């Protein structure tokens, strides 16, 4: 392994030499031009979970064919001192110059501490709210407007439901999840304003039996379309299909698990994001610190519509999707009340997908049955 270590060290030397030759660094956020680089990916769960971690691992796999780019990956890394040491190990032993810690819990304090300690290494985190006043300039965050996808899921669900009750299996009541639940409901209500969404929080990101129990409980209460926001939706999809309910997928395309019952799904397309970063890195351009994108930018995509979506549903789905592809679509717009009767968005006010306020959502809108605490 000595040779490998030497090579990566040499690679580092070359990299810094190239940077020095070009003689730039006008701003602290820039990276030295690098045609070759080692890029590290860190996942909180197994790489192949049919869900969140897999969506990132597929994005990382998209980089492996790019000349000069070496991808190093580590799975099942807990959000403790372990992840800090994993980042340091990627830097010190593999010569990584760009690291993507992909779990939300890696951001504060772990990635921020490492970014402060290794100012020459670039860190880009999935889902965090990077703040230029508080956080290091060699750090940053990226995320996608997947709530739009859940709105489209809601439209497909709204046309498929007969009971007018939809079910949502969610992990924890945090802003990213609440936005998805609300978007799902509002999408369905764009079809029929009497539709409600029942939510069950399982309290954990991955807990197979409880997710199955939650799915059964939702269907017992009459829900006939189920979606979810947990790390690995496989169990929810299979359980719901087994009970005869329709499904809207999440994170990745789960239609092979239940082709007849799968309506559509909101999928990540992280390959787009990672290729963008690598492209800039290889051209020697500064990496953006705060990156967001939606359907239009190719950060998020929809699974192909399944046989359960009728012609009318297909029409509304495609029309809305076309509208969203123009960018700046607003799902959250006033007048809007939360499910305790309090007005949360005034009439005339609208939050387009880009609105940063959406990333600190703390309410469930009227029509969602569930509680945020």
Site for other proteins in 57-86 (CB under 8 A): 72-82, 84-86
Give the 3-state secondary structure of residue 225. strand
Distance of CA 171 to the CA centre of its chain: 14
Nearest approach in angstroms of CB 173 to other proteins is 7
Q: Which is nearer to other proteins, 171 or 300 (CB)?
A: 171
> Residues 295 to 354: which contact other proteins by CB under 8 A?
none
Whole-angstrom CA distances from 372 to 181, 189, 359, 362, 365 are 11, 21, 15, 7, 11
> Residues 246 to 265: which contact other proteins by CB under 8 A?
256-257
Nearest approach in angstroms of CB 268 to other proteins is 16
> Residues 182 to 201: which contact other proteins by CB under 8 A?
198-201
Q: What distance in Å separates the CA atoms of residue 319 and residue 325, rounded to the nearest whole number?
A: 10
Nearest approach in angstroms of CB 51 to other proteins is 9
212 binds other proteins (CB under 8 A): yes
Q: Which two tokens stand for residue 308?
A: 């359960």
Nearest approach in angstroms of CB 127 to other proteins is 6
| Residue 371 CB-density burial (10 A; 0-12 exposed, 13-18 middle, 19+ buried) | exposed
Q: Which of 18, 66, 190, 243 binds other proteins (CB under 8 A)?
A: 243
What are the DSSP calls for 96-164, one per residue? EEEEEE-SGGGIIIIIHHHHHH-TTSEE-EES----TTTS-TT--EEEE-HHHHHHHHHHHHHHH-SSS
Q: Which of 238, 253, 272, 354 binds other proteins (CB under 8 A)?
A: 238
> Residues 96 to 115: which contact other proteins by CB under 8 A?
104-105, 107-109
Q: CB–CB of 11/36 below 8 Å?
A: yes
Q: Which two tokens stand for residue 155?
A: 């439209």
Nearest approach in angstroms of CB 27 to other proteins is 27
Q: What distance in Å separates the CA atoms of residue 70 and residue 24, rounded to the nearest whole number?
A: 25
Nearest approach in angstroms of CB 72 to other proteins is 4
Nearest approach in angstroms of CB 363 to other proteins is 13
Nearest approach in angstroms of CB 42 to other proteins is 9
Q: What distance in Å separates the CA atoms of residue 332 and residue 321, rounded to the nearest whole number?
A: 16
Q: Which is nearer to other proteins, 109 or 307 (CB)?
A: 109
175 binds other proteins (CB under 8 A): yes
Q: Which is nearer to other proteins, 31 or 77 (CB)?
A: 77
Query: Near other proteins by CB under 8 A, which window of 184-192, 310-318, 319-327, 359-367?
Result: 359-367
Query: Which residues, at least 6 apart from 104, have a Cβ–Cβ distance to it below 8 Å?
Result: 126, 127, 128, 176
> Residues 129 to 148: which contact other proteins by CB under 8 A?
129
Q: What distance in Å separates the CA atoms of residue 62 and residue 341, rounded to the nearest whole number?
A: 46
Q: Which of 31, 36, 50, 363 binds other proteins (CB under 8 A)?
A: 50
Q: Which is nearer to other proteins, 343 or 362 (CB)?
A: 362
What are the DSSP calls for 65-106, one per residue? TSTTEEEEEE-S--TTHHHHHHHHHHHHHH-EEEEEE-SGGG
Q: Which is nearer to other proteins, 162 or 326 (CB)?
A: 162
Q: What distance in Å separates the CA atoms of residue 83 and residue 7, rounded to the nearest whole number?
A: 25
> Residues 20 to 49: which contact other proteins by CB under 8 A?
45-49
Nearest approach in angstroms of CB 209 to other proteins is 6
Query: Near other proteins by CB under 8 A, which window of 127-135, 291-299, 302-310, 323-331?
Result: 127-135
Q: How many residues bind other proteins (CB under 8 A)?
A: 86
Give the torsion through C-alpha atoms of 187, 188, 194, 196, to 10 deg. -100
């Amino acid at each position: 392994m000595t040779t490998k270590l030497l090579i990566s060290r040499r690679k580092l030397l070359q990299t810094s030499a190239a940077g020095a030759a070009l003689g730039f660094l006008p701003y602290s956020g820039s990276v030295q031009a690098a045609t070759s680089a080692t890029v590290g990916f860190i996942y909180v769960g197994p790489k192949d979970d049919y869900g969140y971690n897999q969506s990132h691992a597929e994005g990382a796999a998209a980089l492996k064919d790019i000349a000069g780019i070496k991808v190093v990956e580590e799975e099942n890394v807990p959000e403790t001192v372990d992840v800090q040491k994993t980042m340091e190990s990627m830097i010190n032993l593999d010569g990584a110059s760009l690291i993507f810690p992909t779990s939300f819990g890696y951001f504060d304090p772990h990635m921020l501490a490492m970014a402060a300690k290794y100012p020459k290494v670039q860190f880009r985190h999935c889902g965090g709210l990077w703040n230029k006043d508080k956080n290091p300039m060699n750090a940053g965050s990226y995320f996608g407007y997947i709530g739009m996808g859940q709105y489209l899921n809601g439209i497909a669900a709204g046309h498929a439901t007969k009971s007018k009750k939809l079910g949502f299996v969610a992990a924890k009541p945090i802003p990213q999840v609440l936005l998805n639940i609300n978007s799902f409901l509002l999408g369905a209500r764009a079809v029929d304003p009497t539709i409600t969404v029942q939510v069950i929080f399982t309290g954990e990101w991955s807990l197979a039996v409880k997710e199955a129990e939650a799915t059964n409980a939702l269907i017992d209460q009459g829900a006939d379309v189920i979606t979810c926001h947990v790390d690995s939706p496989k169990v929810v999809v299979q359980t719901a299909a087994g009970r005869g309910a329709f499904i809207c997928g999440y994170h990745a395309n789960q239609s092979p698990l239940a082709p007849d019952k799968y309506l559509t799904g909101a999928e990540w397309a992280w390959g787009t994001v990672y290729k963008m970063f690598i492209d800039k890195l290889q051209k020697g351009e500064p990496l953006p610190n705060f990156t967001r994108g939606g359907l239009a930018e190719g950060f998020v995509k929809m699974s192909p519509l399944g046989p359960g979506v009728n012609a009318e549903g297909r029409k509304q789905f495609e029309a809305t999707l076309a509208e969203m592809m123009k960018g700046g679509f607003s799902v959250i717009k006033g007048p809007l009340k939360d499910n305790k009767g309090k007005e949360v968005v005034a009439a005339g006010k609208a939050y387009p997908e880009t609105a940063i306020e959406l990333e600190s959502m703390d309410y469930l809108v009227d029509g969602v049955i569930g509680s945020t605490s």
